[in-house]
Amino acid sequence: MTDHELRDLMRAHADEITLERDLAVPAWRAGRRTRRRRAVVSTGAAALAVATVVGGVSVLDRPSETAPALTPGTPTPTRAPSESASETPTTPPGSTTPDARIGGTRVFLAASPDDPAALPLQREGRPSLPDKFDLGAEAPSVAEAPIRFAEAALAVQGPDVEERVLLLAPDGTPRSLDISRLDAYDVQGGGATEALPVHDAMLSPTGRYLAFPQVGRIATYDVARDTWGSIPVDPVPELEWLGDTDLWLRSSTGAGPLVDVRTGRRSGGASRDLTGDALRAIPSASPRGRSRLGPYGTAQTVVLEQAPTDESTAEVFLGEQPELLVAATGNGDEAAGLLVGEATDEAGRPAACCTVASWGQGEGVGQGVLVYQWAPPGATTAHLLSWTVGTHRVERVTEMTGVPEDGFVVTSWARLWD
């Protein structure tokens, strides 16, 4: 049989459906209410945008500058929403036409947000990572198969998991790092007592060192030498790398000393507004996860507490609490966002999928590539994806299988750009 017969079958089924009530009049009334509500919200949003506070980044007394140089940004200008954005949702991957705007920030819809495996594999500027690997794979220790650095450090967090970190060598082969010598540590501050002390900044940008929070100290590991070290710190703040070898012990105020992981000695200090650039781009957003510095600026996952109701963009944001990746160049240029999903489902359960992992290898100024991790709750496969900022191009970098249903994967990536 042919497609005509399938069509006939579906039409025969459809022909049985009749209209039981007129939907036109109530729809017109609902549409009129929406127009009025949007008019009110737009007025309020314009007033809020004027009140945005400017943040910034500054390195106080850093002795050797190896971190990406950033210039404090300026608020992006508020622009009129694109008149046709939501009516032209499909464009070629390289297109720079946004699907919507929030203030001055261009917003692009992520292709296949629920099915990363269907995305094309990244070819241009691809980091040295395998297309796919198994988080549960058997792997030799670094002592058995030495490496000088790792491209990634990965761990599975959850009940009854193996106490190890999987290191990906530059040739894509795995190494297993036994961390059973370390104490459990509640990295996320959620009250967990059995959690491994792994986190999304455990690997240094060069892939040479690892750092793990412990009570009263930071445990360090030198991949090239296969040796452990310890840096006394009390209390241990959220760890972040600034430069190749410096750990930034940032306090809740945003300022803190830098400590050289090689010597354990103070090497400077830094102060930074962690989420300033992203929140200047979208003032109504809440930051989620870690902000990432890179060659083209800062990147941050943000959540909008409410989908925009502006008439020209409302249909782009289909659900509640849209989740976006925001890339903001530090020089005042326009910011761009990638709409990747929703932060919670209808029952209020966490459903956020994506966190910024790193910046990737772009092709030039204005062509930054943002690398992010797709791992929504319950997914047994996680993906590392790349977004060419300011375009619709989203590609698959690598696939991670073996995530247990009752656990999640924690990843930390070496610097993925040259």
Partner 1 sequence: MKGVDHDEEAFTRWARERQLALLRTAVLLTGDRHRAEDLVQEALAAVAARWRRLESGHPEAYARQVLVRRNISWWRKHRREVVREVDDAERVTRDPTAASDRRLALDRALAGLTPKQRAVVVLRFYEDLPEREVAEVLGVSAGTVKSQTHAALGRLRAAAPELADLLGDLR
| Interface contacts to partner 1, rule CB under 8 A | 1-3, 5-7, 9-15, 17-19, 21-28, 30-32, 34-35, 38, 83, 87, 89-90, 93, 109, 111-112, 114-115, 118, 311, 314-315, 318-319, 341-342, 345-346, 351
**244/315 with CB nearer partner 1:** 315
Whole-number minimum distance, CB 64 to partner 1, in Å? 46
280/393 with CB nearer partner 1:
393
For residue 346 the two structure tokens come to: 């209808």
To partner 1, the closest distance from the beta carbon of 347 in angstroms equals 8
CB of 89 to partner 1, least distance (A): 4
- Cβ neighbours, 10 Å, residue 266: 14
Between CA 241 and CA 234 the distance in angstroms is 18
Q: Is the dihedral of CA 213, 226, 360, 409 positive or negative?
A: negative
Pull the structure tokens for residue 263: 């010597």
The three-class DSSP label of residue 239 is: strand
- Minimum distance, C-beta of residue 97 to partner 1, in the bound complex (Å): 13
CB 220 within 8 A of CB 261: yes
Q: Find, among 401, 394, 396, 412, the residue nearest to 358 by Cα.
A: 412
Q: Which helix (H) or strand (E) holds 46?
A: helix 24-50
How many Å apart are CA 171 and CA 337, to the nearest integer? Answer: 33
Q: Which is nearer to partner 1, 26 or 77 (CB)?
A: 26
CB of 350 to partner 1, least distance (A): 13
Closest by CA to 151, choosing from 384, 388, 406, is: 384
Q: What are the beta bridge partners of residue 341?
A: 323
Structure tokens at 395: 């590609």
Query: Which is nearer to partner 1, 209 or 387 (by Cβ)?
Result: 387
Print the SS3 string covering 38-93: HHHHHHHHHHHHHCCCCCCEEECCCCCCCCCCCCCCCCCCCCCCCCCHHHCCCCCC
Nearer to partner 1, 162 or 311 (CB): 311
First to last CA, the chain: 56
Smallest gap from Cβ 318 to partner 1, in A, equals 4
Distances (CA, A) of 249 to 76, 110, 183, 235, 240: 30, 35, 20, 10, 7
With respect to partner 1, which residue has the nearer C-beta, 30 or 365? 30
Pick the closer one to partner 1 by CB: 163 or 345: 345
Task: Give the C-alpha separation, 381 to 48, whole Å.
Answer: 40
| Euclidean distance between CA atoms 157 and 13, whole angstroms | 49
How do the residues of the chain divide into helix, strand and coil, expressed in percent and rounded to 5? 10, 35, 55
Spatial separation of the C-alpha atoms in residues 62 and 190, rounded to whole Å: 33
Closer to partner 1 at the Cβ: 69 or 318? 318
Give least dist CB 78 to partner 1, A: 21
DSSP annotation of 265:
S
For β-strands 246-249 and 369-374, DSSP reports them as unpaired
Nearer to partner 1, 140 or 377 (CB): 377
Residue 305 CB, shortest distance to partner 1, in Å, is 17
Q: Find the shortest distance in angstroms from Cβ 291 to partner 1.
A: 27
In the complex, the smallest distance separating the C-beta of residue 5 from partner 1, rounded to whole angstroms, is 6
Of the pair 31, 77, the CB lying nearest partner 1 is at: 31
What is the smallest separation between the CB atom of 26 and partner 1, expressed in angstroms? Answer: 7
Q: Which is closer to partner 1, CB of 255 or CB of 303? A: 303
